[in-house]
Homo-oligomer: A and B are copies of this chain.
Amino acid sequence: MVKVMATGTFDILHLGHIYFLKEAKKLGDNLTVVLATDSTVRKLKHEPVNPEEIRLKLIKELKVVDKAYIGHEDDMYEIVQEIKPDIIALGFDQIFDEKNIEKELKKRNIKAKVIRLSELKGGSDLEGTRKIIAKIISAYEFQKNMEKIEGK
């Protein structure tokens, strides 16, 4: 049984997430998802909309997901050692460097293969949590401007 691991924030689920997770699962038989903690998300991206325990509950509801955990705070390899995946799948836009991960895995005697996945092509312009947030804010700005022009 080939165990695949995929990591990410998974805040406000969208089709880009689904595509990433399905492509990851195709690499093996079983998909374990590791979620970035809220403090990691704050450091790397922005304040999460959904806190980690909600993100965890939601991701577990997806058909494609077999198991899901929240990662450890400081050492991202700790959870890799616990999960023992055969393959670590990286999303097309995830900032990790494959070579660096492979070096760190080797150092810890973890025998996982690292595979970078491709981007979802021809999707809608809503694949991406930040794009969804941008759409919400632009609708809000539009509404506020209309109120300024037309009155409430």
Contact = CB atoms under 8 A, between A and B. Distances in A.
A58 interface: yes
A135 B58 contact: no
Contacts of A64: 61
A18 interface: yes
Given A61-B62, A61-B64, 16 more contacts: A13-B13, A14-B50, A14-B54, A18-B58, A47-B139, A49-B126, A49-B132, A49-B136, A49-B139, A51-B124, A51-B126, A54-B124, A54-B126, A133-B136, A137-B140, A140-B140
Contacts of A126: 49-51, 54
Contacts of A61: 18, 62-64
Interface in A1-54: 12-15, 18, 47, 49-51, 54
A57 interface: yes
Report the copy number of this chain in the oligomer.
2
Nearest to A46: B139
A64 B64 CA distance: 12
A14 to B, nearest CB: 7
B140 A49 contact: no
Interface of A: 12-15, 18, 47, 49-51, 54, 57-58, 61-64, 124, 126, 132-133, 135-137, 139-140
